[in-house]
Structure 1
Amino acid sequence: MNYRHSFHAGNSADVVKHSLLISLVQALQNKQGALTLIDTHAGCGLYDLEGTEAQRTGEAMQGVLQALADPNPLLNPYRAAVEAVNVGAEPKLYPGSPRVLAQLLRPQDFLVLNEKHPEDARALRKAMRDTPAAVHQRDAYELWLAMVPPRTSRGVVVVDPPYEQQDERARITATLAAAHRKWAHGVTVIWFPLKERPTHAHWKHKLRGLGIPKFLSIEHWLYDADQPGIYNGAGLFIVNPPYAFTQALPPLLEALRAALAPEGHRGEISSEWLNE
C-alpha cells in the first residue's frame, strides 16, 4: 500500500490519529516529569491543503473539514491544533504529527523527529525551524531502537510509516519486540491503515504473540460494510496507554465516529486489549 502523506493530509485517519495522540500526551502530562516524544516517520511536518496532491484526492473534505464543523466539545483540542497553524476560518494548512506534538511541549519536554526521505526531511526542517525539535534523517527502525530508553524516564514513540514496503508490518513487529525488551514501561503508538480484515487480523495475531501486557488496539472502520480493494479506515496500536487516557477514551471515540461517518454510513470505532 502506498500512503504518501501529502495526498492524504487531513483525512479521517489524521483526525483520529491526532485527536487520540493529543489526548494521550495530555494524559501523560498530568504528571510533571519530563517527556521525550519521538516520531520515527515524521514526514513533512506541515501540509498544504490547497496543493496539487491534497486537491487531487480531496480527502480533507471527509476529514478535517467535517471535524472542524462538528460541535462536539470533545474535539476542541484537535480543532485548536489545526487552527494554530492557520489564519481565518477555512484551513489552508494541516499540521502533521510533528507540529501537533510541538504544540504540546512543556518547557521540560523534548521532541525528536526523524524522516529518511531527503525531500521530506528538508521540508520537515523548514516546518519545524521555529520549534525546539531535534530532526534526524535516519532509518526509522534503527532510530527507534537507538532512542529507547530516552534520557527522560517517560516518553512516547510514534511510529507512522507509509506502508509502501511489503515487509513493513514484519519490521514493526520485530522492532517493537526488541524495543519493548529495552524499555518495557515506555509508551508506543503505531498507526496503521485498514484495507482488508483478514490481513489486519493476521497481523494482530502476530502482535498478540509478543506477549506485551498492556497492548491496546483502536480500529476505525468508515463503512458499514467493507469496500473491497480500497482504504476502509485506520487505527492505532498503543503500548502502555496511561489510565487517564483509557478512561476518557469511550466518549472521544464516539465523538470521532459521529463526526467522520460518511454519508449513508454509521461507521464503527472500537478499542480492545490484545493481551488481557
Structure 2
Amino acid sequence: MNYRHSFHAGNSADVVKHSLLIALVRALQLKQSALTLIDTHAGCGLYDLDSDDAQRTGESTQGVLRAFAHPDPLLNDYCAAVRAVNVGAEPHLYPGSPQILAQLLRPQDFLILNEKHPEDVYTLRGVMRGTSAAVHQRDAYELWLAMLPPRTPRGVVVVDPPYEQLDERARITATLAAAHRKWAHGVTVIWYPLKDRTTHWRWKEQLRKLGIPKLLWVEHWLYDSDQAGIYNGAGLFIVNPPYAFTRALPPLLEALRAALVPEGHEGEVTSDWLGD
C-alpha cells in the first residue's frame, strides 16, 4: 500500500496519529528529565492542503476539518498544533509529525528527524530551519537502530513509513525486535494503515511472538465492515506507553471516534495490549 503523505495530509489517520502523539509526549513530559524524540520517516514536515495532491483526495475534509468543527475540548491540543502553522480560522497548511514534535520541545529535549527521499529531505530542512532539530538523510531502519539508546535518559521513536515496499512490515518487525534488545525501556510508536482485518491480524500475530511485555495497539476503523480495496482506517503500536497516557486514553479515543465517524457508520476507535 503506497501512502504518500502529500496526498493524505490532514486526513482522519493524521488526526488520530497526531492527537495521540501529542498526548503521549505530554504524558512523558510530566517528568522533568530530558527526552530525545526521533522521527524515522519524517516526510516534508509541512503540507499544503490546497495543493493538487491534497485536493485530488480531499481527505482533509473528513479529518482535520471535522476535528476543528467538533466541540470536544479533548481535541483542543491537536487543533492548537495545527493552528500554530496557520493564519485564519480554517487550516490551509498541515503540520507533519516533525513540526508537531518541534512545538512540544522543552529546552532540555532533542529532536532527530530522518527522511531518505531527496526532494522531501530538502523541503524538510527548509521547513525546520530555525528549530533545534537535527535532520538526517539515511535508511530509516538503519537510523532507528543507530540512534539507540539515545543520549538522554528517555526518548520516543516514531516510525511512520509510507508502506510502499512489500517487505515494510517485515522490516518493522525485525527492526523492532533488535531495537527492543538495545533499548528495552524505550517508547516506540509505529503507525500503520488498515485495509483488511485478516492481513492486519497476521501482522499482529508476528509482533505478538516478539514477546515485548508492554505493547499497546490503538486502531481507528472508519467503517463497520471492511470496504474492499480501499483505506479502512489506521492504527498505532506503542511500546512502553506511560501510565498517564493510557489512563487518559479512553475519553480521547471516544472524542476522536465521534469527530471522525463517517455518515451512516458507527466507527470504531479501540485499544488493547498485544498479548492479552
- TM-score bucket (shorter structure): over 0.9
Q: How does 1:228-243 map to 2 (within 5 A)?
A: 228-243=228-243
**1:251 counterpart letter in structure 2:** P
Supply the distance in 1 between the matched residues of 2:53 and 2:229 (Cα, whole angstroms).
21
Give RMSD over aligned pairs.
0.5
Q: CA deviation at 1:25?
A: 0.1
Q: Distance in 2 between matches of 1:248 and 1:206?
A: 28
Q: Which residue pairs with 1:172 in the alignment?
A: 172
Instruction: Tell me the residue number matched to 2:94.
Output: 94
Report the secondary structure of 1:41's partner residue.
coil
Q: Distance in 1 between matches of 2:219 and 2:4?
A: 21
Partner SS state of residue 32, structure 1? coil
Q: Which runs of 5+ in 2 are unaligned?
A: none
Tell me which residue corresponds to 2:200. 200
Q: Which runs of 5+ in 1 are unaligned?
A: none
Task: After TM superposition, list the pairs within 5 Å mapping 1:15-164 onto structure 2.
Answer: 15-164=15-164
Aligned to 2:249: 249
1:27 alignment partner, SS class:
helix
Q: Identity across aligned pairs (percent)? A: 81
Residue 266 of structure 1: how far off its partner (Å) = 1.3
Deviation at 1:130, TM superposition (A): 1.9
After the TM superposition, which segments of 4 or more aligned residues of structure 1 sit over 3 Å from their partners? none
SS of the aligned residue for 1:272 comes to: strand
Shift of 1:90: 1.2
- Quick one: which amino acid aligns to residue 48 of structure 2? D
Q: Does 1:216 align with 2:216?
A: yes
Q: Deviations over 1:134-158 (max 9, x none)?
A: 0000000000000010000100000
Query: In 1, Cα distance between the equivalents of 2:128 and 2:52?
Result: 22
Letter in 2 for 1:2: N
1:210 counterpart letter in structure 2: L
Shift in Å, 1:102: 0.3
| 1:170-215 residue CA offsets vs partner (Å, 9 max, x unmatched) | 0000000000000000000000000011110000000000000000
2:261 is matched with 261
Residue-by-residue CA offset, 1:115-168 (whole Å, 9 max, x unaligned):
000000001001100211000000000000000100001000000000000000
3-state secondary structure, aligned to 2:263: coil
C-alpha distance in 1 between matches for 2:130 and 2:244: 31
In the TM superposition, residue 275 of structure 1 has moved relative to its aligned partner by: 2.6
- Residues in 2 aligned to 1:264 and 1:151: alpha-carbon distance in whole angstroms: 49
Return the offset for 1:99: 0.2
After superposition, give the CA deviation of every residue in 1:228-271 in whole Å (9 maximum; x if it has no partner): 11100001000000000000000000000000001111100100
Counterparts of 1:253 and 1:270 in 2: how far apart (Å)? 7
CA distance in structure 2 between the partners assigned to 1:222 and 1:63 by the alignment: 11
CA separation in 2, counterparts of 1:36 and 1:2? Answer: 29
- For residue 186 of structure 1, what is the aligned residue in structure 2? 186
| Deviation, structure 1 residue 93 | 0.2
Look up the match of 2:8: 8
SS at match of 1:170: helix
- Tell me how far apart the structure 2 counterparts of residues 237 and 148 of structure 1 sit (CA, whole Å): 19
- Structure 1 distance, partners of 2:172, 2:101, is 22
Question: How far apart are the structure 2 equivalents of 1:15 and 1:177?
Answer: 28
TM-score normalized with structure 2 length: 0.99
- Quote the offset at 1:62 in angstroms: 0.0
TM-score of the aligned structures, taking structure 1 as reference length: 0.99
